[in-house]
């Protein structure tokens, strides 16, 4: 499963790069630089979005979702090799036992009145 996600991640990133490079910039039209036509409208001269821009947005969303999934899988993998600082619970218990002061039992007669 992990390798299939990595393969899909690489493929989507390559396709996303291709779609981004295929798109032309906002200033690529000769008329846009002289203020001609619909370049001043809300969505610009290109309109509300064409196939390339919508596909790029979808691929970018899938790319980021796969990034989160792969990152989550990597963070929850069990490491076979553990360092000496990976599990400090036994050391903490030993230190806590050394620091604990034994409770002293007092009798009613020892309490001054």
- Render pLDDT for 3-48 as a digit per residue (tens, 0 to 9): 899 999 999 999 999 998 888 776 655 555 565 555 555 555 555 5
What's the full length of the chain, in residues?
Answer: 113
Residue 79: partners with Cβ closer than 8 Å, 6 or more residues away: 86
Least trusted range by pLDDT, from 50-54, 57-61, 101-105:
101-105
pLDDT value of residue 42: 53
Domain boundaries, the chain: 52-77
pLDDT value of residue 77: 76
Q: 51-57: list long-range contacts, CB under 8 Å, 24+ apart.
A: 52/19, 52/22, 52/23, 53/23, 55/19, 56/16, 56/19, 56/20, 56/23
Of 16 and 104, the structure prediction assigns the larger pLDDT to 16
pLDDT value of residue 97: 81
Distance between CA atoms of 19 and 62, rounded to whole angstroms? 14
Please give the model's pTM, rounded to 2 decimal places: 0.51
Q: Are 31 and 37 in contact (CB under 8 A)?
A: yes
């Amino acid at each position: 499963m992990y390798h299939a996600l990595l393969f899909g991640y690489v493929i989507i990133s390559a396709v996303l790069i291709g779609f981004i490079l295929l798109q032309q910039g906002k200033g690529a039209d000769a008329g846009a630089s002289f203020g001609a036509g619909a370049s001043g409208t809300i969505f610009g001269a290109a309109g509300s979005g064409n196939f390339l821009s919508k596909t790029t947005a979808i691929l970018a969303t899938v790319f980021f979702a796969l990034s989160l999934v792969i990152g989550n899988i990597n963070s929850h993998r069990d490491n076979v090799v553990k360092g000496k600082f990976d599990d400090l619970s036994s050391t903490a218990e030993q230190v806590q036992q050394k620091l604990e002061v034994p409770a002293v039992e007092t009798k009613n007669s020892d309490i001054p009145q």
